[in-house]
Structure 1
């Protein structure tokens, strides 16, 4: 398991030079990577629970690390050879970038806001669950990405 900022550093190190990664895009990429990893392996990728905020799922530590960039691309001095230390995880994250890196933060946000997503369930059904926290349940994330994997596998 990695810190959310470890995963953020990976995306920034490898891809900040070729694409405009704003804080919103980075947060959504880390969230989506965590979701897919959880859905495919049953294991958490990051050691932090995503939260449902007004504008979508947020990884608080990543938000606080990069919020000073506001809506601007993140400027960083990472090495493009950055690695997680695991070839399997590196390839997995490269695949996430290949599929989702072409989208803007706003487009990724729209994907995570769709009806039935873990954010939607948490944000809109909070009162029905009698939950005091806006943490998105790991079980909701896992189930959602397992369903996406099943749909992708079946056509």
Structure 2
């Protein structure tokens, strides 16, 4: 089951709040990217129900960008919202309450990537051969090109494979 990207965003925002950390929009985007990538590699299916796009500073989920662009490079001080057509109002999409596997993934991404700054995470997404680099190299004059899940899954799956000495 894929989740709306804003649900995953809120999971990281809640994690940051619990640990007394602050998240900028750029750092949040990169954490979502890494969670999505590792989930694809481990589960073989997408974590989020949207595509990532190759923007200048790395992978971006457009709906999360739109939600938090008002913060610029400042820390985010609210949770993401989405319109609930049944209730005819905006609600805060809450993280996956009963999916312990997903909680573990968010915890793991937070532990492994949360220590890096937004700029460091952005630089990491630009590594040669990474999904962002692959898409930008294939489409040098285009902006905001979709990064196919197959490219992301292949890259992160390769990272899972043990390196064998020759």
Check 1:133–1:73 CA distance in 2 against 1; reply closer, same or farther (3 A cut). Answer: closer
Give 1:91's aligned residue. 104
Give 1:3's aligned residue. 4
Give 2:152's aligned residue. 141
SS in 2 for 1:16: helix
Distance in 1 of aligned mates of 2:129 and 2:40: 17
Query: Unpaired runs of 5+ in structure 2?
Result: 81-93
Distance in 1 of aligned mates of 2:117 and 2:156: 20
1:123 aligns with 2:124: no
Distance in 2 of aligned mates of 1:16 and 1:51: 27
Select which of 40, 43, 68 maps to 1:41: 43
State the Cα deviation string for residues 27-76 of structure 1 (Å, max 9, x = none): 11001100010011111000000001112111111111101000011113
Larger radius of gyration: 2
Q: Which moved more, 1:8-17 or 1:37-46?
A: 8-17
Contact 2:54/2:143 (8 A) holds in 1: no
Distance in 2 of aligned mates of 1:108 and 1:87: 26
Question: Normalized against structure 1, the TM-score is what?
Answer: 0.87
Contact 1:5/1:62 (8 A) holds in 2: yes
1:112 aligns with 2:128: no
Which structure shows the bigger proportion of residues in helix conformation? 1
Which structure shows the bigger proportion of residues in strand conformation? 2
Question: Normalized against structure 2, the TM-score is what?
Answer: 0.82
Distance in 2 of aligned mates of 1:60 and 1:141: 17
Q: How many residues matched? A: 148
Moved over 2 A (4+): none
Query: Unpaired runs of 5+ in structure 1?
Result: none
RMSD: 2.2
Give 2:17's aligned residue. 16
Shift of 1:83: 3.9
